[in-house]
Amino acid sequence: MDAPAPQPVPLSATMPLPAPPIPAAPVEAAAYGAPVRGSSAHPGYAATPGWPAAPAPQNVLAWVSLGLGLGGVMFGLLTSVPAIVLGHIARRQLRERREQGDAAALTGLISGYVISALWILGIAAYVLFLVALFGAVAVSSGVGSAV
């Protein structure tokens, strides 16, 4: 009454084994001056033929500078001045460490300077408006006139 247990079938009998991987041959020359894989002519390619290198790490201060510079629209000098300081620090680190994020640091610097200048001009215009307003009120009321 008991059926015999099925016997396992070896894998080699049912399917073929995969072929061993073929190593990639290095590319010796590329057309029209394109960078050659495996050479140091292009920083995005590693010395191992056919395998790209890991990208350079991002500089965190560059991205913080960008965020603070754009936040200056809302928060004024409170964030645009630190954006300028961090942008300069990030640009120096980018040159020394060869990291990525130069565009973010430069954008943070430019937006920090522009927004700071706009806020300072706005505050100066407001103060001049108040001086002119109080001067006009004083002249119309006769305050300070010797009659």
The pLDDT value recorded for residue 45 is 47
Residue 28 corresponds to which tokens in the numbers above? 């010796």
DSSP structural state of residue 35: P
Along the chain (147 residues), what's the average pLDDT of each consecutive run of 10 residues?
70 63 60 54 55 84 95 93 96 92 95 95 97 91 68
**Residue 54, Cβ density class (10 Å: 0-12 exposed, 13-18 middle, ≥19 buried):** exposed
Enumerate residues 6+ apart whose C-beta is below 8 A from 80.
68, 69, 71, 72, 111, 112, 113, 115, 116, 119
Place of tokens 């394109």: 34
**Residue 89 near residue 71 (C-beta atoms within 8 A):** no
The pLDDT value recorded for residue 147 is 55
DSSP structural state of residue 38: T
**Residue 40 near residue 47 (C-beta atoms within 8 A):** yes
